[in-house]
Structure 1
Amino acid sequence: MYKKILIPTDGSEISNAAARAGVEFAKQLDAEVIGLYVAPEYQYPVFIEIIPPNFPSEDEYLASMVKVGEHHLQVIVDAARAAGLTASVKTIFSDATAREIVNTATKEACDLIFIGSHGRSGWGQALLGSTTAKVLSSCQIPVLVYRMGKQPEPTGTKK
């Protein structure tokens, strides 16, 4: 059925839970997993004549965001390894997250996009926009939307 599945993540707890579920789904199908983190592009300061000394250069920003991407994608790598699956991951820079998810799935010849939904509706979705909704409306590849019944516990909290 599906042999190559794209699993995008933003590093949030909900996204991490969806990524783990996506890997478990891929395991059932013995599918290859591709993890994707879309980092925001570098923003030049509006006060370009006087750049504060603590403002990162473009190279510093790109390097730090690659590390952030590696950190967020590690959830997918670890879950795939534990499931005995092949996984590759990539960080892409763009301010159009949904478009990059669809483009990457197309370029990588993915059969499916497995994406989490934060579950916002109504004004929350209208005001904040929904990457998942944008992917759904602009994609020719099948999309499986993972919605959790309840919010996950934040990592590092004690019970």
Structure 2
Amino acid sequence: MKITKILLPVDGSEYSLNAATEAIDLASKFNAEIIVLYCSETFQNLKQFKEFSVESLEYANQVLTPVREMMEKHKALYSERVVDNSPSEEIPRIAEKEKVDLIIMAPRGTNPLASILLGSVTTRVLKQAPCNVLVVHKKH
């Protein structure tokens, strides 16, 4: 398998940091680019409030900062995307648009109501992804 682009969805959870570690490791082995993706799902009626938009961007930056620091520490080739839509819709869409070879993601995120085995986003991505998906559970 040839890997040139990896999509790494992050949500601020410890699980997504574990996935980031795996993405960095694989990217270094294959000399691949990592696309770090954060999906901020905002309710339509809240988008009109400037304060909420600013808070959303601040939270996105808070989620991305530790991942960004990991990428820079390991000298990984990466780019960032922040989108305002459902992760279960955006992850497969961006994977297809960017022609990624592999999605590396966590089994569940920050939602405490997620299913016990796999989170609902992960389950949907596994069904809709245009490429292979690596679900990382443990710390590398």
Residue 61 of structure 1 is aligned with which of 52, 56, 80? 52
Aligned-pair identity (%): 29
Deviation at 1:97, TM superposition (A): 1.4
Q: Look up the match of 2:137.
A: 147
What is the CA–CA distance in structure 2 between the aligned matches of 1:58 and 1:66, rounded to whole Å? Answer: 13
Q: Look up the match of 2:98.
A: 108
Q: Look up the match of 1:21.
A: 22
Which secondary structure state, in structure 2, belongs to the residue aligned with residue 44 of structure 1?
A: helix
Query: 2:132 matched to 1:131?
Result: no
Deviates more, 1:137-146 or 1:16-25: 16-25
Say if 2:5 and 2:34, in contact at 8 Å, map to a contact too: yes
What is the CA–CA distance in structure 2 between the aligned matches of 1:74 and 1:27, rounded to whole Å? Answer: 20
Equivalent residue pairs, number:
134
Runs of 4+ in structure 1 displaced over 3 angstroms? none
Structure 2: where are the runs of 5+ without partners? none
Structure 1: where are the runs of 5+ without partners? 46-55, 150-159
What is the CA–CA distance in structure 2 between the aligned matches of 1:29 and 1:75, rounded to whole Å? Answer: 23
What is the CA–CA distance in structure 1 between the aligned matches of 2:92 and 2:129, rounded to whole Å? Answer: 6
Letter in 1 for 2:138: M
TM-score under structure 2 length normalisation:
0.83
TM-score under structure 1 length normalisation:
0.74
Deviation at 1:133, TM superposition (A): 0.8
The 3 A distance-change label for structure 1 pair 102 and 125 is same
Task: Point out the structure with max Rg over C-alpha.
Answer: 1
Letter in 1 for 2:128: S
The 3 A distance-change label for structure 1 pair 17 and 140 is same
Q: Look up the match of 2:81.
A: 90
Which secondary structure state, in structure 1, belongs to the residue aligned with residue 115 of structure 2?
A: helix
Letter in 2 for 1:27: S
Say if 2:108 and 2:114, in contact at 8 Å, map to a contact too: no
